[in-house]
Amino acid sequence: MALEYLTQDQINQFRRNGYLIIPNFLSSTETNVLLNRAKALLDAFDISDHPLTKFTTGDDNHVGDNYFLNSGDKIRYFLEEDALDTNGKLTREKQKTVNKIGHGLHELDPLFRKVTLQNERLRSLVKDLKFHKNPLALQSMVITKQTHIGGEVPEHNDSTFLFTSPPSALGFWIALEKCTSTNGALSFLPGSHITSPITKRFVRLPTGGTGFESLVGEEEEERIRKESERRKGEYILEECEPGTLVLIHGSVLHKSERNTSPKTRFAYTFHMIEGEPGMAKYDEKNWLQPTPEMPFSRVLA
């Protein structure tokens, strides 16, 4: 079948490297619409209701966990580690304390929905890539990387956090602002999706909260850890312009550094998994659970 959006070269590059940079996926108008919407959400965010500021006495250790675990069908706000001082007071204006907004933007917010679930360009790309037979969009986030406070995202692969058996996560990450070496552009370990298997998964713990469950023996985990340590110098920093889409294979290792600059680095990201019955199992251990009111949405009609 003829390709609709990607070139065969781009598809080959994605298969080889485990990620693909697609400049100008969104026009500057489309990008600014999302950036302005993200900023408006931050302005409207009522921090007085937030569990981190409301429950500082340790009365209920799981309030923060539940705020996160039940955010799949909501628009919620997750704060930077340095957002509060030791007295539980905000260290800066509320907009600048937010690390990310998640996880139901693609369903609930009309502007983010339009780019994710009502986007012919995206559907064409997804059909060309053939990564999934029946792609389901399951979560979305705006990551704000605020000036000076925006924290690092350590090396990881996305299938650890959005686990299916076999792994099938695919990330779509769209720069809403220019991404540079000082404001926390993404960097990737090319080809690591082939050499670094998923060794653990992020799960709901039976005792409440979340944790990691190992999928391989200790020896194998150690071997893989050493291998990624050995290849540390091979990371490629991908600076990019607003409107750039980065496709991220669920197994490729990637990270971003702390924003040490005076410029924010807003990005919109969402993920898909395989939804075709019998092809990949999504189970109840995952932190993110579909709800009857909001099941994961099919991307292709």
Ligand X SMILES: O=C(O)CCC(=O)C(=O)O
Where on the chain is the footprint of ligand X (CB under 6 A)? 143, 153, 158, 171, 173, 184, 186, 254, 256, 267, 269
Tell the smallest beta-carbon distance from residue 301 to ligand X (Å).
26
The residue among 174 and 299 lying less far from ligand X, judged by its C-beta, is: 174
The residue among 223 and 258 lying less far from ligand X, judged by its C-beta, is: 258
Tell the smallest beta-carbon distance from residue 145 to ligand X (Å).
6
With contact defined as beta carbons under 8 Å apart, do 128 and 3 qualify?
yes
The residue among 75 and 186 lying less far from ligand X, judged by its C-beta, is: 186
Tell the smallest beta-carbon distance from residue 216 to ligand X (Å).
21
Tell the smallest beta-carbon distance from residue 299 to ligand X (Å).
17
The residue among 76 and 254 lying less far from ligand X, judged by its C-beta, is: 254
Q: Which of 221, 277, 174, 209 lies closest to 70, judged by CA? A: 209
The residue among 116 and 256 lying less far from ligand X, judged by its C-beta, is: 256
The residue among 45 and 270 lying less far from ligand X, judged by its C-beta, is: 270
CA distance 190 to 165: 23
Tell the smallest beta-carbon distance from residue 1 to ligand X (Å).
30
Burial 173-208 (b: 16+ CB within 10 A, else e): bbbbbebeeebbbbbbbbbbbeebebbebbbbeeee
Measured from each CB, the residue nearest to ligand X is: 256
**Residue 219 identity (one-letter amino acid):** E
The residue among 63 and 153 lying less far from ligand X, judged by its C-beta, is: 153
With contact defined as beta carbons under 8 Å apart, do 176 and 33 qualify?
no
Distances (CA, A) of 29 to 40, 156, 209: 16, 32, 40
**Residue 66 identity (one-letter amino acid):** N
How many C-beta atoms lie closer than 10 Å to residue 70's C-beta? Answer: 14
The residue among 63 and 239 lying less far from ligand X, judged by its C-beta, is: 239
Per DSSP, the three-state class of 160 is helix
Tell the smallest beta-carbon distance from residue 177 to ligand X (Å).
11
Distance of CA 299 to the CA centre of its chain: 17
Distances (CA, A) of 228 to 155, 184, 236, 262: 9, 20, 14, 31
Tell the smallest beta-carbon distance from residue 185 to ligand X (Å).
8
**Residue 74 identity (one-letter amino acid):** K
Tell the smallest beta-carbon distance from residue 267 to ligand X (Å).
5
Burial 72-92 (b: 16+ CB within 10 A, else e): bbebbbbbbeebbeeeeeeee
